[in-house]
Amino acid sequence: MSHPEVSKDEIFKRLRDLLVGGFELRDEQIVPTARLIDDLELDSLDLVDFAVRLEQQVDLEIAEDELKGIKTVQDIVDLAYQKLNAGRP
Amino acid sequence: MFLAFGIGAIVAAAIVWPLQRLPLRTDARREVWAQRVVHGAFRLFAWWAVTLGLIRVSWTGAERLRGRGPRLIVANHPTLIDVVLLLTRLPQADCIVKTAARRNPFMRSIVTGAGYLANDHGDALVDACADRIGRGRSVVLFPEGTRSPRGGLRSFQRGAAHIALKSGCPIVPVVITCRPPILLKGQPWHDVPDRTPRFVLRVEEPIDPARYLDAETTLPVAARRLTADLHMLYERRLSADEGKT
């Protein structure tokens, strides 16, 4: 039996909780267009920690190369949507 | 002053180069010997600059830098010679240098001989610094990443906090002021003030990173809070200093 599709809205909510809880950010800062480095002030160490949290809490594994390509919250939502729903018909 | 510094760098390099070839047991031992040469050269340079009346230097709380490490020493960075003055009190200190310094013909031999770390990879650099501290060595870094703006302070990068949290090593803040200002970022070397610049280096109480860690606090949040407190300490000290002048 396959898992139900995870919607982009659901992924966004999970990411927002993770960013707010893990990095002391405010709910209203987490918008799809927010840039991780320039707007949310995550540094390279935060991004590594963020990738670990994604793996632990959202079961999403992001390779180092993929991490480098991520600029905004929407980029993660899109990548997560693609990965979490991979293999679905 | 620049000429003396250049000659000093060549002399120090001439001492460090054969040291690197001595049959010491480990690279770490060679690095610490090279760091002692740098410490001696900087002491000589500072003595020379003070004796000729080019600068005046005073310290408070310098006893906090005495004795065995490891320590994680952080400082604001108002002038080009801050690191020189800091290292006059630190016979052993691992510094973090720009990658360009490894290519500079005057600096290359000293930088590599002393095992100074390049500032290129954030997370790898944190691991490298924590590893040095774990081996009992002290590390010096400037959390602004480059020289401070005139009379002010840049935002702090969180690397120092991450190193402290990872290693458990207390941060020893050093607040540096120079009045009137010289050798600021963008200030020409020949822009010499009409009175002797006075450097004051204040070594503050160490900050224990364990205070920032508990079961509910994530590492990035702890690093943010520690960095914010550190920045606030510098802002307070510098504005108090500004009020006195």
Count of C-beta atoms within a 10 Å radius of residue B216: 7
In this structure, which CATH number among 3.30.460, 1.20.140, 3.30.1120, 3.40.1130 belongs to the domain B2-244? 3.40.1130
Q: What gap in Å lies between CA B16 and CA B114, rounded to an integer? A: 8
Higher pLDDT, A29 or A88: A29
Enumerate the domain spans of chain B: 2-244
- Does residue B141 have a pLDDT over 70? yes
Partner-chain contact A43 B126, CB within 8 Å: no
- List pLDDT tens digits, range B88-136: 999 999 999 888 777 777 778 888 889 999 887 767 899 999 999 999 9
Partner-chain contact B123 A22, CB within 8 Å: no
* Beta carbons within 8 Å of B49's beta carbon, 6+ residues apart: B1, B4, B55
Average of pLDDT values for A12-24?
A: 91
In this structure, CATH architecture of domain A8-84? Orthogonal Bundle (1.10)
DSSP 8-state secondary structure symbol assigned to residue B168: -
Instruction: Show residues of chain A in contact with B122, CB under 8 Å.
Output: 43-45
What's chain B's average pLDDT?
86
Per-residue pLDDT at B225: 95
Per the CB < 8 A criterion, the answer to whether B45 and B8 are in contact is yes
DSSP 8-state secondary structure symbol assigned to residue B25: S
- Does residue B2 have a pLDDT over 60? no
ipTM, 2 dp: 0.74
Name the minimum distance, in Å, from the CA of A85 to any CA of chain B: 29
Per the CB < 8 A criterion, the answer to whether B17 and B109 are in contact is yes
Helix axes B219-244, B159-167, angle to 10 degrees: 120
| Burial status of residue B145 (CB atoms within 10 A of its CB: 0-12, 13-18, 19 or more) | middle
Count of C-beta atoms within a 10 Å radius of residue B196: 13
Does the pTM of the predicted model rise above 0.95? Answer: no
Q: What gap in Å lies between CA B163 and CA B172, rounded to an integer? A: 13
Higher pLDDT, A56 or B85: B85
- Does residue A27 have a pLDDT over 90? yes
Counted residue by residue, chain A has a size of 89
Listed range (B4-18, B30-44, B189-203) with the worst mean pLDDT: B4-18
Per the CB < 8 A criterion, the answer to whether B30 and B24 are in contact is yes
pLDDT band at B29 (very low <50, low <70, confident <90, very high): confident
Name the minimum distance, in Å, from the CA of A3 to any CA of chain B: 31
Q: Is A81 on the interface with B (CB under 8 A)?
A: no
Which chain A residue shows the shortest CA-CA distance from B123?
A: A45
Cβ contacts below 8 Å, chain A against chain B, sum to 33
Per-residue pLDDT at B95: 93
Average of pLDDT values for B167-183?
A: 90
Helix axes A44-58, A8-23, angle to 10 degrees: 130
- List pLDDT tens digits, range A36-85: 999 999 988 888 888 888 888 878 888 888 888 899 999 999 998 988 88
Q: What gap in Å lies between CA B116 and CA B94, rounded to an integer? A: 6
Per-residue pLDDT at B135: 94
Per-residue pLDDT at B12: 61
Enumerate the domain spans of chain A: 8-84
Partner-chain contact B218 A45, CB within 8 Å: no
Q: What gap in Å lies between CA A1 and CA A85, rounded to an integer? A: 14
Listed range (A6-20, A50-64, B87-101, B226-240) with the worst mean pLDDT: A50-64
- List pLDDT tens digits, range B63-80: 999 988 799 999 999 988
